[in-house]
Structure 1
Amino acid sequence: MSKPDSNEATATISLVAKYGKQKIELNDLSPSTTIAQVKELIFEETNILPKRQKFIGLQVQPNLNTNPKSRQVTDDIQLSQLKPKYTFILMGTPEKDIFVDPNDTDTQFEVIDDFDLEFNAGTAEWIEHVAKGENLKRFTDSTAVHVMNEPREGKPLMVLDLDHTLLDFSRKSIEQASNAERAATDNGNNGNGSSTSIVRTTQETIDRMKRPYMDDFLARAYVNYDLVVWSQTSWRWLETKLIELNMLANPRYKFCFVLDKTSMFQITSALKSGERRKHSVKPLQIIWNKFPCWNAHNTVHLDDLSRNFALNPKNGLKVTGFYRKKKSGKRDIELLGLASYLERLAIEVNDFTRVKFKYWTDVLSGKKALIKEDDNDKKSANGN
């Protein structure tokens, strides 16, 4: 497709799409160019079908839409209708990567065993790792954060793992449902309602990959927290999951940005048996270095693997792993309880490091207080 012609004297517009480490420049576009035409141009550059493309960062001018909650950048929107910020994040998967080799799946990296780590704040090993700041500095410098939604003033930070914390994803299951839908269409089932049932089954397949109440949990969390996703998968799989499960377009919550496994590095920890084991970590200091509004006192990190908390043990809240094929998967209500607990945390606590996150269920049941009174507090209360 050639770039839309314009005989107008109006100045042209240039767009820059950030796709991973690649920058795609579209220059000399007419203001009347539509988003649909932009998608065709990007398809020529990337082989990402227009229907698979998602643009993060473009916004419609508020004076062109009377409803501020519905300023969606749809295919018929012209570039002249956008806010004058023409750099955006492109998400999508090229066709050649949609049907991948079964040996190259997003589950290959996973090790369900969380080890038996003895890694607590204040131990010699913890201090040793924190003191070695070269990894933190190097990864802070190399981590490119593409902000999708700016941090909101005064909001604490919630860092969220994806796999087995919020979802249990399978591209193969989606492909099987999609193939069944196409087969039904080819067999002439469009007119008798059976294809509608299959389409619904495809959506149900996607919905079952979400942990029960996932969207409700994120919507409740977004009221009190800024949300960031940090996944232990590659960027390709991360964006596939976020797009397929419609997590970037949900009007009830937004993410500030997302990080993948390239911002993680390895450390060596000691198991309780004395054996030493190498493993990857998610060092929150990388985020704190880039966003001074967040720190150890206003950050909580949810993950099903506690080893990812190794450098920030006071900020980690371990979530029970979610596996949709297990019998307990359909009855899982953990996110409902977590939503209530985290609401209390945001409203009642100014310093998250004073909270023992491992007791969150006891706090909900009333067995324990949200903040455990330490010896200094007791002395102050007694006037000593």
Structure 2
Amino acid sequence: MAAAASEPAIIAFSVKYSGKEIQINSLSSDSSLAQLQSLLYEATRVAPDNMKLLGLKGKNLSDSLAKLSELGVKSGSKLMLIGTPDAEIKQVTEEKHESVEFLEDNEAYCDGEVKLEHRPEYLDKIERRIREYKITELQAPRAGKKLLVLDIDYTFFDHKSVGSHIDELTRPYIHHLLTVAYPHYDIAIWSATSMKWIYSKLGEMRLFASEMFKISLLVDSLACISVYCEEDEANVNVKPLAVIWGQYPQYSASNTIMIDDIRRNFAMNPQSGLRIRPFRQAHQHRQHDRELIRIAEYLEAIADVEDFRELDHRRWEKYAAKRAKKRAKLEQKQGDSANPDSAGPA
């Protein structure tokens, strides 16, 4: 009488996700990838379709019926899971929808019967900041340059995600953006955090060490003011550009653009603000994020505009796309001129 086939042995291995080790000790080498994905979903709420498992081997990496033994998984294996939980995907979708609404909305944010920038109690706060707050100057303003004011968190740095190196959390092309902008703009960094944090993060990102651009001004949370927002029914902190303009009169609404991911930061200067899509879940989005390339195209395109108050920064993407198309045609034309034989025989 033939002996019954023995059950495949249980294998014990781990999957790392968001800095934590998930121990798997209830599967065998004959278990399928789908079974592993089911366990990981219970532990992380990352849907199987959104999972990317690093450390698997073989040709059937996308086959949910493939056995773990076929994928090189055995006792002691260490895998890594990359993916976004369902709840966070929903949040990002809602934020993206809200961003689209903002681009289509012609109403100023937080305004009641009197526009915030004209309210005397807030103008008094700004005057006090101009008198008492000292902007950190790293490089003196250059004659004839416009001013680019950049936020940090979620504008070009994902400060909530976990990474083994700062480059993993830095938005792609920030060095490109600053290099393109620098010939036309003095660069200011304004973060609603501490100056110590600003120095730390910019230093780690090597933004002080470039030979292609220099940062002129640093502004921290102490320069912000609190205003009452009827839309939120709460007091919110905002970034009034007049604090900079009051200390550096060569800058004004006519030559300043402020880029931030938070709409309310423009409440005192709605005409000067360009809202950027927030850079979150860096591990998921970093590979495909091209936002700063398009922003750089826009900044270069408007650099010769005499008065920025004539612009509607909510339409920046259309403006940048048109500029990019013109540049591509020009480069193609120049290429054809440099290679006359490419036009074919006469």
Letter in 1 for 2:290: I
- Residues 264 and 132 (structure 1 numbering): CA distance in 2 closer, same or farther, change over 3 Å? closer
SS in 1 for 2:136: coil
Aligned residue among 314, 317, 326 for 1:361? 317
Superposition map of 1:26-105 within 5 A:
none
Per-residue CA distance 1:136-168 (angstroms, 9 max, x = gap): 111111211232111110000000001111112
Superposition map of 1:144-163 within 5 A:
144-163=134-153
Deviation at 1:209, TM superposition (A): 1.9
Counterpart-to-counterpart distance in 1, 2:161 and 2:303: 35
Answering whether residue 89 of structure 2 is matched by residue 129 of structure 1, we say no
Could you list the runs of 5+ residues in structure 2 that have no partner in the other structure? Answer: 1-93, 324-346
How many aligned positions are there? 222
Retained in 2: the 8 A contact 1:121–1:313?
no
Retained in 1: the 8 A contact 2:161–2:282?
no
Retained in 1: the 8 A contact 2:257–2:274?
yes
Deviation at 1:284, TM superposition (A): 0.4
Q: What TM-score, normalized by structure 1, do the two folds share?
A: 0.54
SS in 2 for 1:288: helix
Retained in 2: the 8 A contact 1:129–1:267?
no
Superposition map of 1:265-280 within 5 A:
265-271=225-231, 276-280=233-237
SS in 2 for 1:252: coil
Counterpart-to-counterpart distance in 1, 2:153 and 2:229: 23
Deviation at 1:365, TM superposition (A): 3.0
Per-residue CA distance 1:102-157 (angstroms, 9 max, x = gap): xxxxxxxxxx9789885278951425436642101111112112321111100000
Aligned residue among 293, 308, 317 for 1:336? 293
Determine the structure 1 residue equivalent to 2:199: 239
Counterpart-to-counterpart distance in 1, 2:317 and 2:140: 32
Higher alpha-carbon deviation: 227-236 or 323-332:
323-332
Counterpart-to-counterpart distance in 2, 1:131 and 1:353: 24
Aligned residue among 239, 252, 277 for 1:295? 252
Aligned residue among 315, 334, 340 for 2:272? 315
Retained in 2: the 8 A contact 1:118–1:270?
no
SS in 2 for 1:240: helix
- Residues 127 and 309 (structure 1 numbering): CA distance in 2 closer, same or farther, change over 3 Å? closer
Per-residue CA distance 1:202-242 (angstroms, 9 max, x = gap): xxx22222111111111111111000000011122111101
Answering whether residue 212 of structure 2 is matched by residue 252 of structure 1, we say yes
Identity value in percent:
30
Retained in 1: the 8 A contact 2:202–2:208?
yes
Could you list the runs of 5+ residues in structure 1 that have no partner in the other structure? Answer: 1-111, 178-204, 368-384
Aligned residue among 74, 84, 109 for 1:119? 109
Deviation at 1:278, TM superposition (A): 1.3
- Residues 171 and 250 (structure 1 numbering): CA distance in 2 closer, same or farther, change over 3 Å? farther
Q: What TM-score, normalized by structure 2, do the two folds share?
A: 0.59
Retained in 2: the 8 A contact 1:119–1:126?
no
Aligned residue among 171, 195, 214 for 2:174? 214
Per-residue CA distance 1:55-98 (angstroms, 9 max, x = gap): xxxxxxxxxxxxxxxxxxxxxxxxxxxxxxxxxxxxxxxxxxxx
Retained in 2: the 8 A contact 1:129–1:311?
no
Letter in 1 for 2:206: N
- Residues 298 and 170 (structure 1 numbering): CA distance in 2 closer, same or farther, change over 3 Å? same
Counterpart-to-counterpart distance in 2, 1:214 and 1:305: 18
Larger Rg: 2
